[in-house]
Amino acid sequence: MGGLRSHQFSSNYLRVIVDSKLLGPFGALVTSDFLIALGAVYAAAAVRFGGDADVISNSVGVLWYRALIFAAMTVIALFCFGMLRTKHRDRFLRTIVNAISSVALATAMTILITYAIPQAYLGRGVLALAAVFTVAGVIMLRFFFNRIVDEAYFKRKVLILGAGSAAATIEARMRRRTDRQSFVIVGYVPIGAGTSEIDSQLTVRIDAENIAAFASDNHIDEIVVAVDERRDNLPIWELLSLRLSGIRVTEIVSFWEQESGRLKIDVLKPSSLVFGDGFICSAFSLVQKRLLDIFITSIFIIIASPIMLLVSLAIWLEAGCKNSVLYRQVRVGYRGKPFQMLKFRSMEMNAEADGHAKWAVNNDPRVTRVGRVIRATRLDELPQLFNIALGQMSFVGPRPERPEFVNELNKVIPYYDERHLTKPGITGWAQLTYPYGASVEDAREKLQLDLYYLKHHSLLFDLMIIMRTVEVVFTGNGAR
């Protein structure tokens, strides 16, 4: 009975905080992990000292701020290991490994903090027990979370206005469960006389004047406008009534943006870029970004110097000391200005002996044995720290492409040149979300992610991307 009550309590707790009207899945996960780590410290102190408050106070001291430090380090470490992503599913064994690794990193960071702040010392016994309790709590949380967060009760009910080509992009590209983790589509409403590209079983045949009644009867949370031809077709007064009644009304571009973290260019209109929010590029934000680049690059150069030396030796041992360790390649930078980007050599010396630029591909035969390792861990990118120091690149930004590819892609992909309105980066939103570009279609997908970054870039967004990059280095997820 006790186990059943515990399961019911955990489920009910998660049902409350996962509800999108409160914190949402991500906020629920962060809050729960923080509380687990916080409680683990108190539980560890109680176990270690028999629950005697006076003994705890004399042996450890004030506990609350020590617990806060450990909890904060735990959340940061979980983020670095990808444990806070709500739209990804790892196998249970991998979840266990990542949980142990995350808490081990959090423990190490807590110990380092105590060296800087001796007053925050927690005690080896309490810290070890807190780590064990936190690992158990984090694993149990994922076990419940992965089941509860997918329940339809927590998802927004969405009605799509339109059944043409724009609406079809939602049905075609958001089919997976993880793509629809935060919403459920009630149906598609054909608008106008255009051809329907949606399966008839998914369409809702209602007149425009009945949309409000249908939305009320079916508890619709959001209306997505995906009408191909809006002129004289859009039921503007009905949409206004819905909006004023508290139902969210969203354009398909905004819907794609919020659900996939990208700007869908095949439904994107220039007016959306001109009149929409975002794309703020003030002098203050530029100075802020440059100061962050200088600060992080200085730290990374100091920390990575021994690693760069080892990588250089490995390349020399494999290819011979007569061959160059660094690879210089012309790339297109800020506002289309070319520059020489530095990388550790990961391919054979004559990888492009015919003089023609080639796309990177999976299992590229030109990649050396050392090259595969440094590519998988992104160590081949380390020399670009010097490009950042010279002001040619930023730490976070779109991946710089070669002039040959840029000229080709500008002709076939709309808005492609807009990605050069910010400095290119070592890492970025597109690099984390999508693998290396190997075709025009890959470049199109990455552009949508780059445009999303350009629209929403900020100091916090950059810091989040940097932390996600640390996850790639630790786990290898997302590397190719």
Range of weakest confidence among 370-374, 385-389, 416-420, 432-436: 432-436
Three-state SS at 355: coil
The answer to whether residues 370 and 453 belong to one domain is yes
Domain count, the chain: 3
CATH number at residue 185: 3.40.50.720
pLDDT digit string, tens, across residues 429-451:
988 888 766 688 888 889 999 99
Which CA distances in Å does 55 have to 13, 126, 141, 163, 437?
A: 32, 13, 31, 69, 60
pLDDT at position 90 is 58
- pLDDT: which is higher, 256 or 62: 256
The helix or strand, by DSSP H or E, that contains position 171, with its residue range, turns out to be helix 165-173
The answer to whether residues 452 and 319 belong to one domain is yes
Mean pLDDT over residues 354-365, rounded? 61
Of the three residues 119, 148, 177, the one that is the final residue of a domain is 148
pLDDT at position 477 is 57
Find the helix packing angle between 165-173 and 252-260, rounded to 10°.
Answer: 10
Q: How far apart are CA 102 and CA 71, in angstroms?
A: 12
The answer to whether residues 293 and 429 belong to one domain is yes
pLDDT at 121 exceeding the cut of 50: yes
The answer to whether residues 138 and 165 belong to one domain is no
CB proximity list for 258: less than 8 A, separation 6 or greater: 250
Mean pLDDT over residues 198-203, rounded? 83
Mean pLDDT over residues 329-354, rounded? 84
The answer to whether residues 254 and 392 belong to one domain is no
Share of the chain above pLDDT 70, in %: 81
The answer to whether residues 182 and 142 belong to one domain is no
pLDDT at position 456 is 86
pLDDT at 334 exceeding the cut of 70: yes
Range of weakest confidence among 14-28, 209-223, 280-294: 14-28
The answer to whether residues 314 and 330 belong to one domain is yes
The answer to whether residues 194 and 137 belong to one domain is no
- pLDDT: which is higher, 196 or 407: 407
Mean pLDDT over residues 327-343, rounded? 93
- pLDDT: which is higher, 174 or 397: 397
Range of weakest confidence among 48-52, 268-272, 321-325, 395-399: 48-52
In a domain, 275, yes or no: no
Per DSSP, the residues of 68-113 read HHHHHHHHHHHHHTTTT-SS----HHHHHHHHHHHHHHHHHHHHHH
In a domain, 250, yes or no: yes
Count the neighbouring beta carbons within 10 Å of the beta carbon of residue 236.
10
CB proximity list for 91: less than 8 A, separation 6 or greater: none
Find the helix packing angle between 459-475 and 283-319, rounded to 10°.
Answer: 20
pLDDT at 425 exceeding the cut of 90: yes
The answer to whether residues 313 and 453 belong to one domain is yes
Residue 44 is part of which domain span?
2-148
Range of weakest confidence among 46-50, 298-302, 452-456: 46-50
Q: Is the pTM of this model over 0.95?
A: no
In a domain, 388, yes or no: yes
Q: How far apart are CA 264 and CA 179, in angstroms?
A: 15
- Give 347's pLDDT tier (boundaries 50, 70, 90): confident
Mean pLDDT over residues 401-425, rounded? 91
The answer to whether residues 165 and 132 belong to one domain is no
Mean pLDDT over residues 345-361, rounded? 65
The answer to whether residues 256 and 343 belong to one domain is no
- Give 480's pLDDT tier (boundaries 50, 70, 90): very low
pLDDT at position 337 is 94
Mean pLDDT over residues 106-128, rounded? 85
> What is the pLDDT of the chain when averaged over all its residues?
81
In a domain, 253, yes or no: yes
In a domain, 278, yes or no: no
- Give 182's pLDDT tier (boundaries 50, 70, 90): confident
The answer to whether residues 412 and 366 belong to one domain is yes
pLDDT at 37 exceeding the cut of 90: yes
pLDDT at position 156 is 83
